[in-house]
């Protein structure tokens, strides 16, 4: 396990969050094997791996299908790693299928709702200026929250109106930034960040907390929820990826090519991006149903 996690960190560039999640999932797997009297990876059979997935989905605290699928991904990665390193002769987890995931369309807000959300950050105080900069960046670039809080000062290029984002697996991409976001960031840099920075240790992070350290993911998520509450939006439609979903959906609705949106989002496959086309088609169908005289015939 330790060698596998080290491999993910060093050679695959996995994020600390991924490593923690995989570590937790593998601890569950080891406990499952120990309950069966198995303490050697070479003694594991395909049925043991399959039963592990079943156990995750049942019992006193069953996991959601997505969580069980993630745990299986960690287990399959471990067995694949052990096979390639010659620690075991056969990859017994290779053929174990993950549980079927429900097809859920990403929740998105209308343009008016996003404007209302962004307007929820009011005031000229340092915290309000920082929060406005964060939300404007998230919507303008389609960045994940982890990518936004990972930004350093040098990653933003106001001259070319672009920002360098570091995505999953250490992959980098350059994304345009809109003028409203640049204006919000500039106001934060001039009137808020210097005060935060005096309390810290000279971090290059763009977004700082009140102690002068890099803003955490949890704090950024709290900023989004607080802005949604202030805007009177339904909490069920707000998630850490809300503004990223809005970014993609609004681009496609405005006529952007799905391949361009794929590059902007940093998706490895266009298949991942195409889920947003379903959201757009649903919106078109709704307009058609209410506007065409024969739509309901």
267 is catalytic: yes
168 is catalytic: yes
- Which residue in 144, 193, 214, 250 is the catalytic one? 144
Spatial distance between the Cα atoms of 177 and 275, rounded to a whole number of angstroms: 24
- Which residue in 79, 130, 214, 244 is the catalytic one? 244
List of long-range contacts for 172-181, beta carbons under 8 Å, 24+ apart: 173/263, 173/264, 173/266, 175/141, 175/142, 175/143, 175/264, 176/141, 177/137, 177/140, 177/141, 178/136, 178/140, 180/136, 180/140, 181/133, 181/136, 181/137, 181/139, 181/140, 181/141
- Which residue in 214, 241, 245, 250 is the catalytic one? 241
Beta strands across the sheet bearing 172-176: 156-157, 162-166, 172-176
- Which residue in 70, 130, 245, 267 is the catalytic one? 267
241 is catalytic: yes
- Which residue in 28, 161, 168, 191 is the catalytic one? 168
Q: If we measure between CA atoms, which residue out of 183, 171, 153 comes closest to residue 163?
A: 153
199 is catalytic: no
Catalytic residue set? 144, 168, 241, 244, 267, 276
């Amino acid at each position: 396990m330790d060698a596998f996690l080290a491999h993910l960190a060093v050679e695959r560039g996995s994020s600390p969050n991924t490593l923690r999640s995989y570590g937790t999932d593998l601890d569950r797997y080891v406990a499952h094997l120990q309950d069966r009297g198995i303490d050697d990876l070479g003694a594991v059979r395909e049925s043991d791996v399959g039963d592990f997935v079943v156990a995750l989905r049942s019992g006193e605290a069953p996991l959601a299908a997505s969580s069980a699928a993630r745990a299986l991904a960690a287990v399959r990665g471990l067995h694949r790693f052990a096979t390639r390193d010659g620690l075991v002769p056969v990859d017994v987890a290779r053929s174990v299928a993950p549980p079927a995931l429900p097809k859920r369309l990403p929740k998105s807000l209308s343009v008016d709702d996003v404007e209302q959300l962004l307007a929820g950050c009011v005031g000229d105080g340092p915290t309000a200026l920082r929060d406005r900069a964060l939300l404007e960046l998230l919507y303008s670039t389609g960045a994940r929250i982890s990518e936004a809080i990972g930004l350093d000062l040098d990653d933003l290029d106001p001259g070319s109106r672009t920002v360098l984002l570091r995505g999953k697996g250490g992959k980098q991409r350059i994304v345009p930034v809109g003028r409203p976001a640049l204006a919000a960031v500039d106001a934060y840099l001039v009137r808020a960040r210097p005060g935060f920075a005096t309390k810290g240790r000279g971090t290059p992070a763009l977004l700082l907390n009140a102690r002068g350290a890099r803003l955490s993911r949890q704090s950024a998520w709290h900023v989004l929820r607080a802005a949604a509450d202030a805007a009177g939006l339904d909490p069920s439609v707000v998630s850490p990826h809300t503004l990223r979903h809005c970014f993609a959906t609004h681009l496609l609705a405005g006529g952007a090519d799905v391949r361009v949106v794929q590059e902007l989002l940093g998706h490895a496959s266009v298949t991942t991006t195409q889920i947003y086309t379903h959201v757009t088609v649903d919106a078109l169908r709704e307009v058609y149903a209410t506007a065409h005289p024969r739509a309901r015939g």
